[in-house]
Amino acid sequence: MARETRQLKIYGIVQGVGFRPTVARFAEMHGVSGSVCNYGPYVEIIATGESSSINALKKLLRESPPDRADIQRIDDISLAYREYDGFEIVESRGTSGEIFIPADIATCEDCRRELFDKNNRRYLHPFINCTQCGPRFTILENLPYDRERTTMKDFPMCDECSREYHDSTDRRYDAQPVCCPDCGPEVYIVGSDIKSGDAITHARKALADGKIVAIKGIGGFHLACDATNEAAVELLRERKNRPRKPFAVMMKDIEAAEDECEITPEQREMLMGHQKPIVLLKRKDDTSLADSVAPGNPRLGVMLPYTPLHMLLFDYPDGVNMPSALVMTSGNVSGAPICHTDDEALKEIGSFVDLILSHDRPIRTRADDTVMDFYRGKPYMIRRSRGFAPLPFKLGRTKDGNTLAVGGELKNTFCYRRRNMAYPSAFIGDLADIRSVEALKSSIDLVGRMLEIEKPEVVCDLHPGYHSTEVAEMLSESYGVKPVKIQHHYAHILSCMAENAFDGEVLGASFDGTGYGTDGTIWGGEILRCTCSSFERLGSIVPFKQVGGDSASKSGWRIAASLLASVYGSDRAAAIAEETGLCKASDVKLIAKMTEKGLNTAVSTSAGRLFDAVSALLGICKESSFEGEAATELQFAAERGLFEVALEKDQILPIIDTDGFAHLPTDSLFKTLVEGVLAHRPSDELAFEFHAALAAEIAEALKYASDKTGISTIALSGGVFQNTLLLELTHSRLERYGYNVLIHSLVPPNDGGLCLGQASFINKE
């Protein structure tokens, strides 16, 4: 068999986890020569040997990686054949000055075993941790990562802990947050003398009794209640003023999760891994959970206990009979950052809860739970935070100087960039809430200090009204520079390019909620030609009139009414609205009049709003109680209606060429759906048809643009591509055309990923 040379790029948690020595050991076992090197977000292996030996090395890494490592992707690329003398560990080549800020790690199996071992000195200790696990980023005050620069500095180690900490053969060697019942923090019930084990029992009793308890975790407080108790969950909904948005659930263990949900092997691995995010799982039909946990939702956000305290809440020798599922939702007022101190918890969520279970290990930086979907067997990020932030990504291109990208307005995150390394932050929140703006500023300050970045170039969105733009202007003024403003949907495509370390030219389909366009109109269903430093708008969905500013994003029926009026004229539209039950005829007439006169009306190409309108038209969701509700319900309907809707080539509506600008015929698609509703076709079937037809239109528009430009790499981004049905339908069509398709995996396609795109922009001026 011929020898060959290959490059394996290994992505995931491969930093600071003893990865390279393991690679070297495996390579030697299989007679593979070459080298291994850290490149920040990935480890690069150059391997020369028999093809079968390199495959065996790859297999071994997948099957038995180092304990704390978590391989998420291996790129395998053939290189020109070259022989090497043996196998070498290269010290972080080309990565000098790169800074690695550790992320929080879920409690490991060894610590879990000790936690429940009566003979262990840390038996039932709610802060047990080791070199392999425990809080990191959230307790960090500065770098380098040593105890005196964490919030554990106020807890001097006892002699026994100190001995373990200094013993290189001990599994707590150099573990910064190491502690024990003698020297560590303590849990307590806020506003009482109840401490330690009694506090845990107290909280368990309250939960088992259907009460609502705030619980301090790693990156903030959770609001918790018994997920199997309908009255308790409804009470939480009422108090939190959150009528329908699904709650995440923490299950006692993987078996409990399997009782409720279908779990693929990849999802299982992620649920049980070192980051323990919330994973969106398919629910089983017979479930013991309260209906109000995720009303009408075929999926459930599930996580497993990731701190010792969580484990003790489910399991404690006090005779309390606990449920095996707890609602665990962020402890905040909607839109505000997650509460992270007792004072915040008392002030902001104190009135929602019967009890606050806290502890005296301070949280320095907030981190919400990460939320992850899966697509084609790989992670597909919805919210990147605890366990992942602020681990860096390596960009395709190096850039002089440092950059701070402040992100968008909703789901805000920010990102520092130093040369070719980008460090997206933990989730901040929606900046309409002033507390989120304050959290953004202080987190920018802290991470900037850790990364030793002073007076960076500041990048923000083009939108003049975003609070993030305001922050950018304020900061850049203090640095004596001018902010660089990047169009929203271009930043989404840049984000997808950045995650894939792609620095060439792409055609991007940026399908999203709303963003500020360069022409002052609202964009959001865009076909863009992009490089790292410029973009050109080649096409979009057919513009429509969006009435009613911000309230339009809540009321899909208003957009549906305006679309009806533009397609059929006011009188016929009014009749259709009555017939289909969309709204009153008078509402349609009023909206038609407003759009005619341009009153409180904007021209929009927002795909997100189109989804809202279709959802309303089909009678699925006319009014949203939270962002994205109408669109996700439309997706669920389509998934129920997923049967072969044949879209032969001649049935696809052709792209409209308007003086070289490509319009996706979304108005005709809307008309087809109206006729379907009038013909009483099932809404699930129409919902699926909408997805399939829109995917076809997106693919056709890209093909049109590709034929024109010769570009054959496509990037799919924007919040609408959180919809994995639309993604699959679009993706598979583009693959059939033979394009190289870039999609997100570990960076959210929604506005949570915007900061990475902004940070990867290269200013040519």
CB 99 within 8 A of CB 449: no
From the list 512, 612, 639, 667, which residue makes contact with Fe ion (rule: CB under 5 A)?
Answer: 512
Residue 117 contacts which entry, Fe ion, Zn ion, none (Cβ below 5-8 A, type-dependent): none
DSSP string, 4-50: EEEEEEEEEE-SSSSHHHHHHHHHHHTT-EEEEEE-SSEEEEEEEEE
369 binds Fe ion (CB under 5 A): no
Smaller CB separation from Fe ion, 512 or 697: 512
Helix (H, G, I), strand (E, B) or coil at 526: strand
* Cβ proximity of 583 and 593 under 8 Å: no
Cβ 22 to Zn ion shortest distance, Å: 18
Regarding 233 and contact with Zn ion (CB under 5 A), the answer is no
Residue 562 interface partner, choices Zn ion, Fe ion, none, CB cut-off 5-8 Å depending on type: none
Nearer of residues 419 and 489 to Fe ion, judged by Cβ? 489
182 is a site residue for Zn ion (CB under 5 A): yes
The residue (of 512 and 526) whose beta carbon lies closer to Fe ion is: 512
Closest distance between Zn ion and the C-beta of residue 117, in Å?
13
Told to check if 158 binds Zn ion by CB under 5 A, we report yes
User: Please, which residues have CB within 8 angstroms of residue 148's CB and are 6 or more apart in sequence?
Assistant: none
Least CB distance to Zn ion at residue 249 (A): 24
Chain residues 728-757 in contact with Fe ion, contact rule CB under 5 A = 751
Q: Which does 183 bind (CB under 5 to 8 A by kind): Fe ion, Zn ion, none?
A: Zn ion
The least distance separating Zn ion from the CB of residue 682, rounded to whole angstroms, comes to 52
Cβ 137 to Zn ion shortest distance, Å: 16
Amino acid 445 reads D
Residue 542 three-state SS:
coil
| Contacts for 272 with CB less than 8 Å, ≥ 6 apart | 254, 304
Of 146 and 182, nearer to Zn ion (C-beta) is 182
| DSSP of 303-341 | E---SHHHHHHH--TT-----SEEEEEESSSTTSPPP-S
**Contact status: 180 vs Zn ion (CB under 5 A):** yes
Single residue of 10, 14, 108, 339 touching Zn ion by CB under 5 A: 108
> What's the min distance (Å) between Cβ of 752 and Fe ion?
9
Q: How many whole angstroms from its chain centre is CA 571?
A: 44
What's the CA angle centered on 88, arms 82 and 91, to 5 degrees?
115
Tell me the closest approach of the beta carbon of residue 490 to Fe ion, in angstroms. 11
β-strands 87-90, 33-38: how paired? Answer: parallel
Q: Which is nearer to Zn ion, 133 or 746 (CB)?
A: 133
Residue 108 interacts with which of Fe ion, Zn ion, none, CB < 5 to 8 Å by class: Zn ion
Q: Is 694 in the site for Zn ion (CB under 5 A)?
A: no
Candidates 14, 37, 43, 130: give the one binding Zn ion (CB under 5 A): 130
Among Fe ion, Zn ion, none, what binds residue 656 when CB lies within 5 to 8 Å by partner kind? none
Choose which of 36, 37, 161, 756 interacts with Zn ion (CB under 5 A). Answer: 161
Q: What does each C-alpha distance from 679 to 426, 562, 599, 688 come to in angstroms? A: 48, 21, 33, 16
Choose the contact partner of 512 out of Fe ion, Zn ion, none; CB within 5 to 8 A by kind.
Answer: Fe ion
In one-letter notation, the amino acid at residue 486 is I
Contact 366, 151 (CB under 8 A): no
Q: CA triplet 112, 114, 117: central angle to 5 degrees?
A: 115
User: What is the binding site for Zn ion (CB under 5 A)?
Assistant: 108, 111, 130, 132-133, 158, 161, 180, 182-183
User: What is the binding site for Fe ion (CB under 5 A)?
Assistant: 512, 751
